[in-house]
Amino acid sequence: MSNQKIFVTQPFLPPLEEFLPHVKEIWESKYLTNGGPKHQLLETTLAEYLGVEHMALFNNGTNALMTALQALELTGEVITTPFSFIATSNALLWNGIKPVFSDIDPITLNLDPSRIEAAITPQTTAILPVHCYGNPCDIAAINDIARRHNLKVVYDAAHAFAVHDKNGSVLGKGDLSILSFHATKVFNTFEGGAIICQNAEMKKKIDNLKNFGIEDEVTVSIAGANGKMSEIHAAMGLAQLNHINEAIAQRGQVDARYRAGLRNITGLTVLPKLNQTVSNYAYFPILVGDNYPLSRDGIYNCLAEHGIRTRRYFYPLISEFPMYSPLESAAAENLPVATQMAQRIICLPIYPDLPLDDVDRILSVLTLAK
């Protein structure tokens, strides 16, 4: 059993000998960005792998989300979750949109559909749910609410690469879905992201928005930004795709080892596997109960003393940060489930290269904690 430090995540890297030929081709072509051949190949290959028809690659997931909101021309208020990475709501503020926080489901930790309609006002234009930890939202219920109230739906699917539910890929749902290819994600391009859309017309608009709004050499039709993915980042993605199924399977082995080992540790609760869901094992969150010897922060510190890095993810809630806390919807009494979960959640290390012996070491520390 290793005594080396264990990190909460490590980037999934393809064999260097498979990445370098792409780099050599980039050097020889001198085509570094602006929708070059690597970008085009990754976009089509990745869309085919994920089972979606229309995809626009971006330099990161946050720019993708901000552009998605622009593409749908959203204004006013958007209902979203406080239990996410802060980029989810920051993208709204950057677009001059007011986030309205709604509480989460205690089982999935996703937006609770039963709470959404109470948050709708005449100013509401969309719902921005998050597939938290890669667990699918209740897509049918959310889309039904959106249809009845004439709202757009943008799914933050940063965690949901290659995730399927009973109806297939979760990425083709709603009006748009956003992916992140950050180094910590299941699939990464160092930095990167994508928007999944439903038709070629919307893809054309998104591609225009991510390239300054330029139509041709003398025509700029819309106030766009610079969200383009470079050739070197696309090359990383192409090299990774050859090994992504193996990497997800290795994550699954780590997940299974944790679930078996935690089954008999009183006070630690594992999030349940959702029926008919094909997971990518993006994270391994557990909830710390009052009957465990240590608090959540106690576990965080205890594991750190043993060289094991974890993450209190998501803590604090987005609604607790100063740019959001004055909002009426950010009050803790409006978000009782999210507030409780943020105090109890901790994500254990999971990545393809994590040895199972190290998983056993983590479980041993959790078993013996006092």
Residue 8, C-beta contacts closer than 8 angstroms, at least 6 positions apart: 309, 310, 311, 347, 348, 349
8 A C-beta contact, residue 313 and residue 342: no
pLDDT computed for residue 2 by the predictor: 53
> Could you give the residue ranges of the DSSP H alpha helices within the chain?
16-29, 37-50, 61-71, 87-94, 113-116, 139-148, 200-209, 231-241, 244-262, 296-305, 336-344, 356-368
Residue 221 amino acid letter: S
Q: Two tokens at 303?
A: 């594991």
Q: Is 159 exposed, middle or buried (0-12, 13-18, 19+ CB in 10 A)?
A: buried
Q: pLDDT truncated to tens, each residue of the chain (370 aa)?
A: 456 789 999 999 999 999 999 999 999 999 999 999 999 999 999 999 999 999 999 999 999 999 999 999 999 999 999 999 999 999 999 999 999 999 999 999 999 999 999 999 999 999 999 999 999 999 999 999 999 999 999 999 999 999 999 999 999 999 999 999 999 999 999 999 999 999 999 999 999 999 999 999 999 999 999 999 999 999 999 999 999 999 999 999 999 999 999 998 999 999 999 888 999 999 999 999 999 999 999 999 999 999 999 999 999 999 999 999 999 999 999 999 999 999 999 999 999 999 999 999 999 999 998 8
pTM of the model: 0.97
Residues in the chain: 370
8 A C-beta contact, residue 185 and residue 146: no
Distance CA 96, CA 218 (A): 29
Distance CA 359, CA 343 (A): 24
Residue 148, C-beta contacts closer than 8 angstroms, at least 6 positions apart: none
C-alpha pair distances (Å), 228 with each of 19, 47, 193, 252, 333: 20, 17, 10, 32, 41
pLDDT computed for residue 146 by the predictor: 98
Residue 166 amino acid letter: K
C-alpha pair distances (Å), 340 with each of 114, 138, 347, 370: 18, 21, 16, 23
Give helix 87-94 / helix 61-71 axis angle, nearest 10°: 40
Which among 240, 271, 273, 245 is positioned nearest to 345, based on CA atoms?
A: 271
C-alpha pair distances (Å), 61 with each of 321, 362, 366: 21, 31, 34
pLDDT computed for residue 75 by the predictor: 98
8 A C-beta contact, residue 76 and residue 123: yes
Q: Set out the domains of the chain in order of their start, with CATH numbers.
A: 16-241 (3.40.640.10), 245-368 (3.90.1150.10)
Q: Please write the tens of the pLDDT for every residue from 32-60.
A: 999 999 999 999 999 999 999 999 999 99
Distance CA 172, CA 189 (A): 21
3-state secondary structure of 353: coil
pLDDT computed for residue 280 by the predictor: 97
pLDDT computed for residue 3 by the predictor: 66
